[in-house]
Amino acid sequence: MNTTIRRPMLLAAIALSAAAFVGCTPLAPSGEVSPGASAPTDAAPAPTSSPTAAATIEAVASVESQLTYLIEEEKLAHDVYVTLGDLWGAGIFDSIAASETTHQDQVAALLPAYGVPDPRVDAVGVFTDPALQSLYDELIAKGSQSLPDALQVGITIEQTDIADLTETIATAPADVVIVLERLLAGSQNHLAAFERQA
């Protein structure tokens, strides 16, 4: 079975919600205005949606959802490596799991600036994101079959981390980009290490 990690499409839903909120205007007054006549002077002008405001709301919502997802994605990598390291006794999992703890700490340091609550649960293998929970279970099932399968799980995780980080860096604010570029370099090193062992 080919295991791939698919990032939830939360950003589209958040963007649509933000656009709907910004674009809403109050209902028009109940009195009809005849064609060509001006509206009553005491009526408040209907607010217009600002493209800049909509873009700002979408950008903030996007950063918040990206950080929430990324920190749990780093936790997923850590927890998978801890579990497979315990199962197979291969040192590569232990050393990379320690690095994933550092990655989580780096993302966690960004959360307060964006008002993002930390979604992580302390227990290994437990996630608030249902898609990541399901993915963790699937990856552990695959990695438990053999050591080569476990190493392939590591390759899959790092390839997906690289893809997700690259995508996020393209639109992230500067302070987030600095952190994510460090994580990207780490994931590239991890991928190379797993590929050498596979």
pLDDT tens-place string over residues 181-194: 999 999 999 999 99
Q: CB-based contacts of 133: which residues, under 8 Å, 6+ apart?
A: 126, 127
Count Cβ atoms within 10 A of the Cβ of residue 180 and give its class: 0-12 exposed, 13-18 middle, 19 or more buried. Answer: buried
CA distances from 157 to 77, 115, 118, 130 (A): 7, 28, 21, 17
Res 195 pLDDT > 60: yes
Domain that holds residue 149: 11-16+50-197
In-domain check, residue 22:
no
pLDDT at 59: 54
Whose CA is closest to 157, among 63, 85, 81?
81
Query: pLDDT tens across 30-50, in order?
Result: 333 344 444 444 444 444 444
- Number of domains the chain contains: 1
In-domain check, residue 26:
no
CATH of the domain at 163: 1.20.1260.10
In-domain check, residue 32:
no
CA–CA dist 158, 153 (Å, integer): 9
Report which DSSP code applies to 8.
Answer: -
The confidence band for 7, taking pLDDT boundaries of 50, 70 and 90, is very low
Whose CA is closest to 103, among 162, 175, 187?
187
Q: Are 74 and 99 in contact (CB under 8 A)?
A: no
Q: Are 119 and 10 in contact (CB under 8 A)?
A: no
Q: CB-based contacts of 21: which residues, under 8 Å, 6+ apart?
A: 57
In-domain check, residue 92:
yes
pLDDT at 62: 86
In-domain check, residue 43:
no
In-domain check, residue 30:
no
pLDDT at 60: 59
pLDDT at 144: 98
pLDDT at 147: 98
Res 56 pLDDT > 70: no
In-domain check, residue 113:
yes
Neighbour tally for 12: CB within 10 Å: 9
In-domain check, residue 119:
yes
Q: Which residue has the higher pLDDT, 60 or 160?
A: 160
pLDDT at 142: 98
Tokens of 128: 């608030």
Query: pLDDT tens across 98-126, in order?
Result: 999 999 999 999 999 999 999 999 999 99
